Amino acid sequence: MSDYQIILNTCPNQEVAQQLAEALIKNRLAACINILPQVYSIYEWQGKVVQESEILLLIKTRVDLYAEVEKMVITLHPYEVPELIALPIVAGLPSYLSWIDEVVKSM
């Protein structure tokens, strides 16, 4: 199993996305976060089909930090149920993965 992961999180707007990304970086819970604007989401919520623009965060971190990332997202995110999906990084440039280790906090 990989020690590294990408966590997907959608935000309602750029301001929330930046605040969340900066908090994760400042707390050394992620090495890098890409903010992808204008993701169009269609989903069911409370019995209705919802369509709206969102901002997607790609959060690069280690697997052992997931619980702390989750806690921070739940604390700072305005959604009642924020999207938070972790995907393992199955391969990566060794120097990039080492950089992740250098930047995020040690457990």
Average pLDDT, the chain: 96
* Cα 38 to Cα 53, 56, 87, distances in angstroms: 6, 8, 21
* Unique residue bearing structure tokens 């990039």: 96
Q: Which domains does the chain have, with CATH numbers?
A: 4-103 (3.30.70.120)
Instruction: Please tell me whether the overall predicted TM-score, pTM, comes out greater than 0.85 for this model.
Output: yes
pLDDT digits (tens, 9 = 90+) for 39-82: 999 999 999 999 999 999 999 999 999 999 999 999 999 999 99
Dig out the tokens for 55 from the structure: 């901002």
Beta bridge partners of 43: 50
Q: Decide if 25 contacts 105 (C-beta within 8 A).
A: no
Q: Decide if 24 contacts 74 (C-beta within 8 A).
A: no
